[in-house]
Amino acid sequence: YATRDDSLEIGVEIPRAEVRLDRLYLDGKPTFLRMVPHHDESAEFLSELGFNPVWIRDTGNRELIKRLARKGIWSMGTPPETEATGEESSPADQVSMLPFDASLDPIVFWMLGNGISAAERKKLIAWADQIKDADKKLNRPLLADITGLERIYSRYIPLMGLSRPVLNSSMGYLDYRDWLIERQRLSRPGTFGWTWIQTEPVSETVRSRSSMVQSPINVHHEQMRLQVYSALASGCRSVGYWSTRSLEEDAPGSLERQLSIKQLNLELLLLGDLLATGELQGQLPVKTKTPLKPGDRIEAAIFKTSLGILLLPVWYDANGQFVPGQMVGENVEILIKGGIPEASTVWEISTTGEDNLVRKQVAGGTLVTLNRLNTASAIFVPHDERALDRIRRLRMRTAALSAATAVELARVKLDMTRAIDRELASLGVDQPVGALKLREANVWLTQASEQLRNRNYHSARLNAEYACQALRILQREHWNFAVGSRKHPVSSPHLISF
């Protein structure tokens, strides 16, 4: 490997990134990226939220790169661009790019842009070729988020982003997952796929509501979580959290967004080794004794990984992109076709604990029973005890922080839901279950806080999630009442969110 000239100056060793087929390696270790664009957030804040690479626009900002590196965060930057990479220029007209000097050595990845269309094909391909020629010393991987020509672009961009907005739209999470699967199939075999997770409403919605002096839309934790797990279930190898403003800002809904990202990144940290090496095998049907709402579906993505089998059961809420529903099922059954070895153990793994699950050999495979599914979960069938120990060691690092984050998230959601419920009640549209669900949420939150003080982290997180479940029921009741007999919630700006 080539070495970087300025590692000593930065004070931290900068890793070497390389792509081998559809896997990303940093210093030889398979890696799952948790990305974010930089909007003047502090390195300390970004570290607390759990990002590993940050997309910085100014690659000459050595002080920022240094601060990020010292917090264990890698930098990905937009490389220089020559003036002759315009749409009409032919390959023969392209100007060669000078070799990148040592001042750019701390950059780990090159990010070429976001939402790149088919019309930009000539420009992007010429630019990618120039970068490869100029970066022969380190040969850093290229990323770009594209909106078409997947097979062509995947020849030049080894880390290819495929993204589209889901929230407050007519596209449900199941359709979103299938869209991601289809777009990845259109690329060349072995392409590393990733996607942006929507953390805020699209700009058009923000501008429209602002012009009409309407309340801003908040993105719920469950909406981001369903996006993340839908993306994972599609086979995406990494995710980024898209934002157009600082995550550190003090604005309505910003605290829930921060807490949600922190919790999701803890989950991705726990699953990172499995996701970085996992090969998606397909989707398994899931049964539950809990009745599903019309249009809802539960399926489990199954992966073969270097450490064992990973299952990701996901509750695809048909209207969750507007207002998340209850999404909790009891006695959830998953049939692993072909079965697993008799001696294998099956575990539900989380950021605060592991639960040994009941499994039974039946005709056609192994039936695994999950006592309770809340939105999404992770089930692990380790190859051996050492593989499970790796997960346990990671969980011991995440448990206290995850439990505290879950409790704070439930508190924020309770305050928000109570305030909106009170406002709606003043307008004469209160819901019969309102007072009951708010009391239930408060009881669960009180118990969660007590468990957190007693360092019973697993129970604290679960009780906090029970509180959020009660609040989702109330939020959906309000939304159902507002929608009434309308078939298309997108027809009114008042129906696309709670």
Q: Give the pLDDT confidence of 427-446 residue by residue, as tens digits.
A: 999 999 999 999 999 999 99
**What is each CA distance from 290 to 100, 206, 326, 357, 371, in whole angstroms?**
59, 37, 11, 19, 11
Q: Give the lowest-confidence range in 259-263, 358-362, 373-377, 466-470.
A: 358-362
CATH number of the 282-390 domain: 2.60.40.1180
Task: Give 170-182 pLDDT, tens digit per residue.
Answer: 999 999 999 999 9
Question: Model confidence over 191-227: pLDDT tens digits?
Answer: 999 999 999 988 776 666 666 656 778 899 999 999 9
- The answer, yes or no, to whether residue 277 has pLDDT greater than 50, is yes
Q: What whole-number distance in Å separates Cα of residue 183 and Cα of residue 186?
A: 5
Cα–Cα distance measured from residue 216 to residue 209, given in angstroms and rounded to the nearest whole number? 7
How far is C-alpha 422 from the geometric centre of its chain's CA atoms? Answer: 32
The answer, yes or no, to whether residue 71 has pLDDT greater than 60, is yes
- Sequence spans of domains, the chain: 7-273, 282-390, 398-491
Compute, in degrees rounded to 10, the torsion defined by CA atoms 380, 381, 382, 383. -150
State the DSSP string of 77-117. Answer: EPPP--TT--TT--GGGPPPPPPP-GGGTTEEEEE--SSB-
Residue 283's CB is within 10 A of a number of other CB atoms, namely 19
* pLDDT for residue 209: 63
- Give the CATH number of domain 7-273: 3.20.20.80
Q: Is the pLDDT at 8 greater than 50, yes or no?
A: no
Model confidence, pTM = 0.94
Would you say residue 323 has pLDDT above 90? yes
The 3-state DSSP class for residue 335 equals: strand
| Helix/strand number for the chain, H first, E second | 12, 20
